[in-house]
Structure 1
């Protein structure tokens, strides 16, 4: 359902809201907006019931947010890193202790099953703890080799960019809104966040927890509104821009940032392949494939949409995989037990139906699924497995972003790698084999930013000390690890020269000095000097 404008629960007493209006008012008070803003009514995709009336920001409000963030950032930058880390460690604890309300909001806004909502809670806590513990090591001043031993002493120091603009998507409303902000804040930046309107309450709840943890007012500002207007205004004002979303929009974001010569981090689309090798443990591979294909109803940028199965085990794999998919429990319950939730909107359902029907009409076989389930909720769609998919079908190359996977039988590791690389995307991949060394060799041949061996996506995603991001049309830069925090800093080289300068000393001629330097350079090379 599309958001309805000019809605207000206080002027509509007959409506039953899926989120307590008092909670919604408390959270939306954190939005930077005019005193009497236009509002948008959101609905839960689980049942179609109204969620909350959200205040919309204007471009002028974005200016106010950035001005406030810049003022707050100057003091925040001077705050000791140890103090900033303590704030994030308290936030870690609050996320875990307040997880029931967070899980409810994630489910109500995105429609995903509770177990998949918990992935976001766990991810947020892990990222907060990691950067709080490791930020000092990532950001500390580092001595670098100078031009001449002892005489040239170089030090690399890092400064915050200033105010980071983050535009986050609807599919992971907690994780994508906050885990990119965490390292930016720890590096001494302020942040202006524009979460997607559909899932804004989850992001606002996280902001409220950060405030409770001790984050000073103004350091993290939130604006709400559509992407072309308010999202673009954030992109046009940030000293660094972080965007997660479609490749098409990511290109426009990159162009906007390039015109201002500011840095940008983009995590974009994917058409991710999982390869089941001939020696794979089929029991583990089936369980992993079900999670990799249908977590969050496939609305996960690193989810698997293409299954490459070696011909030696294809029949045995499908005999286990298809029944496992058929046994998945779907439903809109705000509790653990269901294994797949709903698509998030009418647009998502329309895209999934279009891909499946296009494939079916062109000769693909539907091994299971392929039908909507309006009896469960307005946007539910059964997990679907296709085979006999050909290049003419939209689902072969285009990202479906739903609970649909295509199965391809391959005759060798090389054929599986070729299938994985036959895409404009390069975000995530998965290799299943009993021989981990072999799995690593296969993984290294796949052009994707992350490749999991004997896991679908969670191993690489959860290993937050290692970088995560996309190759090719799947994005620029990385989140997690050193790059995930250093990208939010300006690096500066401060080099002190001691005793001798670079001009000829003691009245030596330029020619004699050049001869001396030539000898010195030759000796340093022979000594292995780097």
Structure 2
């Protein structure tokens, strides 16, 4: 028997099950099955593929409570969050792409200007990549991989999924759901394992890798993929700022900050990880946040009254704990929390608010990925933007103000893939909009039309309908042709109208001598 992984409930530390660690043989077998299935799956039209996805959506909707329970047990998040953040987005995404993929990937005509008037036309058509490899994270073990699989399938690809070693049971359940709705053999393949398994998937003959996870692992994947020029889409996290202007609705904004920083125990790439508040209202705003943080109920997420569950694994718990301790040594003051929650057996860290931080501290620069929010003041919009952009991440940000013109002006100066105004975190659940960001937050986009275009190849088709006329740039070079081309340049591009009109006569004159 090969090596195995034991799946553990992070709230109770009980064993949930044991799965195999897939090695090269299992990866190659999965890729081979995906290869065999690829041609027949790609041959299906969009409505035929959509029928499977609608069946999947209906099955997930029927099974939502059982799925939420599995997600809660293996990931640690509360049951409500398992439904709202893992299951509901998949139902939404399945509906959107089953309905709209044929429109999003329809042939696109390109207007060629003057060339269109000379019998030329061009269009772009899209066709499947073939086999897609998906390496998914543990923080949203259902919504991220399931959504990417659905989009891949609608684009005509087959898939090999390697779920996180911290959520293998959810990954296997995803594979079962596709089988239960009759997806043909080999179209969706799941191989459980650890980092070695993921590395082997990158080295395999898949056409593209989609990875969600840490910056360090993303860089390793990109380095490995570069050996064969294999394309990658990487979503690598963030240090997302939330700017609260003095005219914001502070009651609403403080509730948003608390939820945005602590949902899923802060294990969200779009979590509020830097709270930037105008100096005129920061004291009052901090008081609101402290009051709301202290009211949060923490515990086993299986209890529907619980608002903050366990962190998913000990490694992340220890990372968060160490980062907070270093912040305190650097002068940060703990307003609430700041330590493990010891009354529970599992991996719990108290919701934490920090003040007396400065922009260059580690707690303000490096992704925490835990229930920790550092709070810093700003004097004016320029300073707020500078603090927000002082990061090597650029996934999301939010701006809170009643003055929408001011908020939009600030938003347009923030270096991030998504900037929300009077909203935060949730736009990953919007199937229509792209997800991703610059800097160390990754490469490429997921979701929406731009995410779908990551899952296809592009083919440019160009047509010349003037088949009885030779192109003037073909062979037969001589002085007359040289002069003709010079005057043609003047006719099309001379800066003044009289120059272009004058050159027209010269074009005609030299053209008669070709």
Relative distance call for 1:523 and 1:169 in structure 2 (3 A) is: same
Q: Is the CA contact 1:332–1:377 (under 8 Å) kept in the aligned structure 2?
A: no
Corresponding residue number in structure 2 for 1:481: 448
Q: What displacement does 1:303 show? A: 0.3
The equivalent position to 1:332 in structure 2, one of 282, 290, 300, is 300
Give the corresponding residue for 2:64: 99
Q: CA RMSD in A?
A: 2.1
- 1:295 corresponds, among 260, 263, 273, to 263
Quote how far apart the aligned CAs of 1:55 are.
Answer: 2.0
The alignment status of 1:369 with 2:337, answered yes or no, reads: yes
Post-superposition CA distance 1:36-85 (Å, at most 9, x none) = 54332221101000010112211111011111101101100001111111
C-alpha distance in structure 2 between counterparts of 1:484 and 1:166, whole Å: 14
Determine if contact 2:89/2:430 at 8 Å carries over to the other structure.
no
Report the Cα offset of residue 242 of structure 1: 0.5
Does the 8 Å contact 1:426/1:474 carry over to 2? Answer: yes
SS at the partner of 1:198? coil
Cross-structure match for 1:145:
111
2:42 maps to what in 1? 77
Q: What does residue 358 of structure 1 align with?
A: 326
Quick one: distance in 2 between partners of 1:153 and 1:385? 59
Deviation string for 1:468-501 (max 9, x for gaps)? 1021011000011112111111111122212345
Alpha carbons of structure 1 residues 277 and 400: separation in structure 2 relative to 1, 3 Å: same
Please tell me whether the aligned partners of residues 434 and 450 of structure 2 are also in contact (alpha carbons under 8 angstroms): yes
Distance in 2 of aligned mates of 1:309 and 1:410: 6
- Between the aligned partners of 1:347 and 1:193, the Cα distance in structure 2 is 23
- In the other structure, the counterpart of 1:123 is 89
Q: Choose 515-524 or 299-308, whichever is displaced more.
A: 515-524
**Among 20, 23, 32, which residue is 1:67 paired with?**
32
2:430 maps to 463
Q: Return 5+ residue gaps in structure 2 as ranges.
A: 501-514
SS in structure 1 opposite 2:461?
A: strand
**Whole-angstrom CA distance in 2 between matches of 1:309 and 1:134:** 40
Rounded Cα–Cα distance in structure 1 between residues aligned with 2:486 and 2:267: 61
Indicate the residue corresponding to 2:283 in structure 1.
315
Separation in 2, partners of 1:413, 1:392: 19
Tell me if the contact between 1:285 and 1:454 (Cα under 8 Å) persists in the aligned partners. yes
Report what 1:286 is aligned to. 254
Matched, 1:499 2:466: yes
Alignment partner, residue 38 of structure 1: 3
**Which residue pairs with 1:387 in the alignment?**
355
Q: CA deviation at 1:382?
A: 0.8
TM-score (structure 2 length as normaliser): 0.91
CA shift at 1:393, angstroms?
Answer: 4.0
Which residue is 1:412 aligned to? 380
Partner secondary structure for residue 171 of structure 1: coil
Deviation per residue, 1:229-266 (Å, 9 max, x gap): 21011111221111111011111111222221121100
TM-score with structure 1 setting the length: 0.88
- Counterpart pick for 1:178 among 140, 146, 152: 146
Q: How far does residue 512 in structure 1 lie from its aligned partner after superposition? A: 5.1
Deviates most, 469-478 or 326-335: 326-335
Shift of the alpha carbon at 1:371?
2.2
Q: Displacement of 1:87 after TM fit? A: 1.3
Shift of 1:225: 1.2
What is the total number of aligned residue pairs between the two structures?
490
User: Does the CA contact (< 8 Å) of 1:358 and 1:393 recur in 2?
Assistant: no
Q: Does 1:437 align with 2:437?
A: no
Aligned to 2:512: none
- Per the TM alignment, residue 305 of structure 1 is displaced from its structure 2 partner at its CA by 1.1
Distance 1:281 1:440 in 2: 16
| Higher deviation after alignment, 124-133 or 378-387 | 124-133
Partner of 1:426, secondary structure, is: coil
1:269 equivalent in alignment to 2:249: no
Q: Does 1:221 align with 2:189?
A: yes
Flag the structure with larger Rg: 2
Q: Does 1:396 align with 2:361?
A: no
Cα 1:341–1:524, aligned 2, differ >3 Å: closer, same or farther? same
Q: What is the CA distance between 1:145 and its match in structure 2?
A: 2.8
Q: Secondary structure at the match of 2:86?
A: helix
The change in CA–CA distance for 1:517 and 1:148 in structure 2 (over 3 A counts) is farther
Is the 1:504–1:510 contact (alpha carbons within 8 Å) kept by the matching residues of 2? no
Where 2:92 maps in the other structure, the secondary structure is helix
Match of 1:407, SS state, is strand
The 3 A distance-change label for structure 1 pair 433 and 392 is closer
Distance 1:105 1:515, change over 3 A: farther
Distance (whole Å) between structure 2 residues aligned to residue 345 and residue 61 of structure 1: 26
Counterpart secondary structure, 1:57 = coil
